[in-house]
Structure 1
């Protein structure tokens, strides 16, 4: 047997990252996305993070930040969780026969078994490498199962950025310049059952894709909406697909967001948090009859797949993540800390006219800002809106980051909502950090002139220059 020769000088990845850290923005400007580097520098986010643990990030000076973005919801169990890390190291040390392809993975079988315990009405799992790839698979499965071509989604939806999922994107900015889109993809308003029924009446829709809670804006449906969706889809022979890529794995204070509404979709899509933040993984959980319409004969056993989809590292990450979620009771923590934060923000809304609405479930929370009534604030608000709709939210997120070391995000392009999507490990001290920081920044925004509105003037000038191509 030939034994691989041990390298005299193995690659020191940590050393390499540290040695080139000061060049990161120059490297990205030259070889990757220069526009994104410009954005980071313009808004002051170029602090150079070099470490992440749990709910926290640390910059090059050792300053600690509270991460309420969590990699767009990827780090539900926190960054670099030791259980997930050790599981991955264990896979490498075991020298498993990974991706043989003309064999099957035991770990994939175990992860599928574990996931289906949460959806006992579903029978099969298809693994992919990401959320958007899982959506693509679900589109194909729905068309194969129903013999129909129509795909339906909601306004303001986000299901990914590859072509099938992009066709179901409710924000035009993501589609501009990339047309034509996938044919037979249509849009209906979110939380509107009459509009949905009208779209289904022709009986040409293979599947209706919906986020139980919309990520762009943290839009929450009426209590009876998803039950109505299930009934209408069944009535017209359309598959009901719940996109739980962002809302799943405990995010909303239940393992799945659909658990709040007591519905059983034909497919459930998972990704993001299932990865543990390390190895990308997506999953389509589906009914057996749907699955069997795709893989219906031995010569069609490989009609859909993905080279890396069931790799042992991704499967181990998923298994370890579920262990952490269960053992550390993170679903319960999400529900409890989310309830606390939502109540706190609603209390703030009573005192601050710029806070228009607070909504969320678990640790998926949106704070929406709206036009004020007082003259000085209204004039300043209108100026920003004239320059760029949704710019006001940067007057909240930037001071939160700069002055209070809290990392947040705006909930969508042209949106007036700040979204919280933190690790599900948040402590009481973390919640206090969030509450005091938001209260201070929002209070400052109600004083005009103030540092917040000076920032607004600067951002407006940058936006005008960008528009003029300066």
Structure 2
């Protein structure tokens, strides 16, 4: 009689990845098999509270019923046409997304990095066609410690040596200035500047929130200097900070907004460049494209995401629960936490290095049933789904307190 097949454990599956997967990630040793809401379950049935939410790709939690239903309906009808033809879902998606952001036109793409790359092309084209910058001389000003992706063009203006080393030669045309420094930005912008591209909150750097007035200053400077303000809201947007967009905390309206991650609802990769008509209007057929960008399945899910945000419920939840998050973290300062930065349901927490690195603290939290991710040094990031309850959030903060005390 044939013996029953042995269920593969987490350790088995992790070992199986080693020889066949490129080693471009160093994940925590947990193998997720199922998920719902703010909770995930590994192959052995252990449950974990997800306090990372796919770097904000899961703002609405795992398998939100409205988003799953939208995907199922579309899967039964049509999934892909390419942009060689029209499809019956794309116009509604673009119209609703433009309305949500207060802008005019949408360029649908797939990943966040594609949205950034697309914005670089659009900004340069606008500089040549509209601003009158001589061909080949357009520059884009960015901030140090940025994270906009890891393509070769994007790492050309990164200051993260891990992302850069060994991948040159790099794309020219970028100027890097310190984040949150309006004087440095003013000095870097000149007649060749097509755009200033920044994150309104720097996520990968440790959820760095700029001083009040910085974003307003960027908007005023770009208007005065005649260049575009491009706001990368791929992590900070779509409810994460308690507003639809993080720039709304200062009442700022960029020329271009970049969206991704949560726009796909944790189901499919969806990103978009959303901009004023005179900016995206510079593109002509054949100058840019994507086989999958704007596909019917992505458009259906993206529309359902916009519908959730149109109610304002998730923005309110992030703002209200953000008070709980800040209060809990404030109570831990001096008890293993040396500082933190937070806005809405998003925080970078600096742990006392004597307690451990961010990786070590993340592993300890994992063993206690809470999933987070480290960033530089002894900093961990918290970005739970916006569907998390106050009780679940307080439980996670209690677990953090326990781990720090231990």
Alignment CA distance shift 1:30-1:106 (3 Å): same
1:437 partnered with 2:399: yes
Query: Residues of 2 paired with 1:99 and 1:68: CA distance?
Result: 36
Which residue in 2 is equivalent to 1:141?
Answer: 122
Query: Residues of 2 paired with 1:303 and 1:274: CA distance?
Result: 24
Picking from 295, 308, 317, the partner of 1:311 is: 295
Question: Does the CA contact (< 8 Å) of 1:158 and 1:168 recur in 2?
Answer: no
How far did residue 364 of structure 1 move? 0.9
Deviations along 1:52-89, one digit per CA (max 9) or x if unpaired, are 11111101222210011111111111111221111111
Give the stretch that moved more between structures: 328-337 or 175-184.
328-337
Which residue in 1 is equivalent to 2:366?
Answer: 401
Deviations along 1:171-197, one digit per CA (max 9) or x if unpaired, are 121011001111011210000000000
1:130 partnered with 2:111: yes
Alignment CA distance shift 1:21-1:392 (3 Å): closer
Alignment CA distance shift 1:73-1:150 (3 Å): same
How far did residue 316 of structure 1 move? 1.0
Deviations along 1:400-459, one digit per CA (max 9) or x if unpaired, are 111x2100111x33x332110111101022112112111111222xxxxxxxxxxxxxxx
Picking from 70, 81, 84, the partner of 1:99 is: 81
How far did residue 169 of structure 1 move? 2.0
Deviations along 1:190-211, one digit per CA (max 9) or x if unpaired, are 00000000001x3212111110
Query: Residues of 2 paired with 1:424 and 1:19: CA distance?
Result: 33
TM-score (normalised: structure 2): 0.91
Query: Residues of 2 paired with 1:234 and 1:224: CA distance?
Result: 15
Query: Residues of 1 paired with 2:9 and 2:45: CA distance?
Result: 18
Which residue in 2 is equivalent to 1:157?
Answer: 146
How far did residue 247 of structure 1 move? 0.4
How far did residue 338 of structure 1 move? 1.2
Deviations along 1:298-353, one digit per CA (max 9) or x if unpaired, are xxx2211111001111111111222334458111111111111111111221x42x
1:422 partnered with 2:405: no
Which residue in 2 is equivalent to 1:167?
Answer: 156
Which residue in 1 is equivalent to 2:62?
Answer: 79
Classify the secondary structure of the residue corresponding to 1:118: helix
Query: Residues of 1 paired with 2:351 and 2:84: CA distance?
Result: 55
Alignment CA distance shift 1:21-1:401 (3 Å): closer
Q: How many aligned positions are there?
A: 392
Larger radius of gyration: 1
Alignment CA distance shift 1:104-1:124 (3 Å): same
Looking at secondary structure, tell me which structure has more helix per residue.
1
Question: Does the CA contact (< 8 Å) of 1:64 and 1:405 recur in 2?
Answer: yes
4+ aligned runs moved over 6 Å, structure 1? 18-22
How far did residue 142 of structure 1 move? 0.4
Query: Residues of 1 paired with 2:79 and 2:114: CA distance?
Result: 25
Higher normalized contact order (CA 8 Å, seq sep 6+, divided by chain length) = 2
Alignment CA distance shift 1:406-1:19 (3 Å): closer
> Unpaired runs of 5+ in structure 2?
1-6
Query: Residues of 2 paired with 1:332 and 1:129: CA distance?
Result: 28
Q: Give me the CA root mean square deviation.
A: 2.1
Alignment CA distance shift 1:358-1:22 (3 Å): closer
Alignment CA distance shift 1:48-1:100 (3 Å): closer
